[in-house]
Structure 1
């Protein structure tokens, strides 16, 4: 039986992916801050789920918990990093920006490096991370969130380059969603907000095929392309 760890599995895309992996026959370790939600998964599927309740914004404790979880599971073939946070912050209140930096940059980097080193030390494995279409451009209303996702996109590319150059057999995959119907989708006038289940289905199918970049849902490929080519003087006025 293959084993996966899903970091950020208490809700949203992470929780849906964890359930779908179990349905596909995987044993899954779920990680998140809210222990009651993790325990609920364990109680529903006692033999399929293991869990660790920890916050990636506290890297030292998180890495210790992850290592213990993988040891209890007997190994790991796939690690999916879904943990993230972000707030609308038009007033540039740093107390709203700081959690995005601590979670999406500092903690995220710690767990991604941990997973990569784990796989590299064992001759291979699959590391998948959830970024965002928002990382393609800056945002006046959520500057830290979009900036942190841009950081993730570039960091993942660096890991891909490292894997190719070192022939480490660590496969890096990026799941890049548009707007998804979760607590992360904030603001008014949102369009093309996709159901979580649909996003997770497309993401999992692409993951199992080993695709390097997974934009979900597919219509967001169009948005991503437009964002990339849109001149700055036009984008700044949107």
Structure 2
């Protein structure tokens, strides 16, 4: 199949559900081509077909972002059939609680770090040099408001998302002289399979579609860092600058909830 290279291209990981799926739909709506990457390739292909999109506007690439070889193969296939993307969105993620007093949770911590940190690095790596040579392109790391501070029961998730923020910040400084933008998006509570089992209040909960619309605008504008929705940006700022003694007192008073497995 011949793909219309005159249309811009977005390469999106974690595209089989939730935020990734909504982002894919928003980009196609805007007239872009999309290269969709996820472990559940058949499910992703079935969903994309059901959308009625033109067949030459999308492709599916099965890959687990924890496996560098799979991600590099998906990127190579994308480059071969589509060409170099204009936007690369490292979105794949999992949400799992971690109790570091349990030896059996150490592999869980490793899984979180490999998914979020190595997954972002593996997603970006194949496109950095070509974008730098071209002198344009945007790399997007999907972090979280949870990156702002360490929350009880979430050492892995908070730590991994904080690493995503700093990886993106580092790349932003390295790539700016070459015309390549790096955008960090930090979602608050989005109504996806990752949050639907939460048994605690989720302020400012928004739909994936509303999130995708705001993220699309932020990415198009080339913002450095954006919390979505904006009220959670205020929460994030408060968390970030709260004195440690006060933060410790607040989180120490909270009941530690049972870990959720995904």
* TM-score, normalisation: structure 2: 0.85
Deviation, 1:123, is: 2.0
Structure 2: 5+ residue runs without aligned partners? Answer: 1-6, 252-262
Larger displacement relative to structure 2 (143-152 or 207-216): 207-216
Equivalent residues in 2 for 1:56-135, closer than 5 Å: 56-90=65-99, 92=102, 93-135=105-147
In the TM superposition, residue 212 of structure 1 has moved relative to its aligned partner by 1.7
What corresponds to 1:179 in structure 2? 189
Greater Cα offset, 146-155 or 205-214: 205-214
1:170 aligns with 2:176: no
**Mapped contact 1:133–1:177 kept (Cα < 8 A):** yes
Establish whether residue 198 from structure 1 lines up as the match of residue 210 from structure 2.
Answer: yes
Unaligned runs of 5+ in 1: none
Paired position in structure 1 for 2:164: 152
Alignment of 1:22 onto 2:32: no
In the aligned structure 2, how far is the partner of 1:23 from the partner of 1:80? 17
1:189 is aligned to 2:200: yes
**Radius of gyration: which is bigger?**
2
Give the total of aligned pairs.
236
The answer to whether the 8 A contact 1:199-1:216 is kept is yes
Give the secondary-structure state (helix, strand or coil) at the position aligned to 2:94.
coil
CA positional deviation for 1:88: 1.6
TM-score, length basis structure 1: 0.93
Q: What RMSD in Å do the two structures reach over aligned CA positions?
A: 1.6
